[in-house]
Amino acid sequence: MARSLDSIERIGVVGAGTMGSGIAQVAAQSGYDVVMRDIEEEFVQNGFDSIESSLDRFVSKDKIAEDEAEATLDRIAGTTELSDLADCDVVIEAAVEDMDIKQDIFADLDEEIPDDVVLATNTSTLSITTIASVTDREESIVGLHFMNPVPVMKGVEVVVGEKTDDEVVEFAHALAEDLGKETWESDDKPGFVTNRILMPWLNEGIRAYDEGVASKEDIDKGMKLGTNVPMGPLELADHIGLDICLDASETLHEELGDRYKPAYLLKRKVDAGDLGKKTGKGFYEY
């Protein structure tokens, strides 16, 4: 079984968006060959562009040498065919946060990928157990929730599904650590550790701003200086993406009730297309 780091040479990544490209980058920087797959060639190329920009920033800040950046890119292959992941020793899914889409992907992976290969999902809120239920290898499916931006953030949340083998959980911790991350573990409960606590904090910061408690600048400054966090709630929401925050909040609201109800202003911003840093405007302008 491909559940020992000694047996891992090639990592598959499903999804070339912000999270998928970031996971592909850190895997390649750690010396693994990577196959990054998305449904359209344009999305795959966008993923490569994102990786190249990230590596360029690391080079400009003297965090890595230029030849290391080039070697990292050389280790990554792009594809639109899921079957091209068949030779991978572990596969990490990082598609959009939609249960139907993830289940479709995992059902297809179950057909394409050898039975002894661990399949991981980067979901931030959705049930590992429900995602795994469409496969014949529920014991081999685990959550590997990377933080955004993946190349910078040091944490990975390992999420244990109802039927996930202990051996697979240990493997997930070891793999994340080999990618230069630190891990913590969560049971398969809505929001896991991070988003279960983070989303109410973000929403309350947004409500405080909407209700005129303070300016957005003072809300963020107060939380940074008062609680020693690197970003305040409004700044962090912009950084994550307001649409992503809304999706996560709505999922948790459905699962856990009104304490997770999304702030009205968050919905209004998303409806207006002001999604944060990625669109140039959210609560702040970029």
Side-chain half-sphere CA neighbours of 29 within 13 A = 24
Does the annotation list 69 as a binding residue?
Answer: no
Number of neighbours of residue 115 by Cβ within 10 angstroms? 10
Does the annotation list 78 as a binding residue?
Answer: no
Does the annotation list 133 as a binding residue?
Answer: no
Does the annotation list 231 as a binding residue?
Answer: no
- Between CA 199 and CA 30 the distance in angstroms is 31
Does the annotation list 153 as a binding residue?
Answer: no
From the candidates 21, 54, 122, 124, which is the catalytic residue?
124
From the candidates 93, 138, 157, 235, which is the catalytic residue?
157
Degrees to nearest 5, angle at CA 217 with 212 and 218: 65
Cβ within 8 Å of residue 152, ≥6 positions away: none
* Residues 99 and 251: beta-carbon distance below 8 Å: no
For the question of residue 46 being annotated catalytic, the response is: no
For the question of residue 239 being annotated catalytic, the response is: no
From the candidates 186, 195, 203, 249, which is the catalytic residue?
195
From the candidates 21, 50, 127, 145, which is the catalytic residue?
145
Does the annotation list 148 as a binding residue?
Answer: yes
Does the annotation list 183 as a binding residue?
Answer: no
Does the annotation list 143 as a binding residue?
Answer: no
Does the annotation list 278 as a binding residue?
Answer: yes
For the question of residue 250 being annotated catalytic, the response is: no
Does the annotation list 139 as a binding residue?
Answer: no
Does the annotation list 124 as a binding residue?
Answer: yes
- The tokens of 160 are what? 């244990």
Does the annotation list 189 as a binding residue?
Answer: no
* Residues 13 and 37: beta-carbon distance below 8 Å: yes
Extract the annotated binding site. Answer: 15-20, 38, 97, 102, 124, 148, 278
Extract the annotated binding site for NAD(+). Answer: 15-20, 38, 97, 102, 124, 148, 278
* Residues tagged active-site: 124, 145, 157, 195
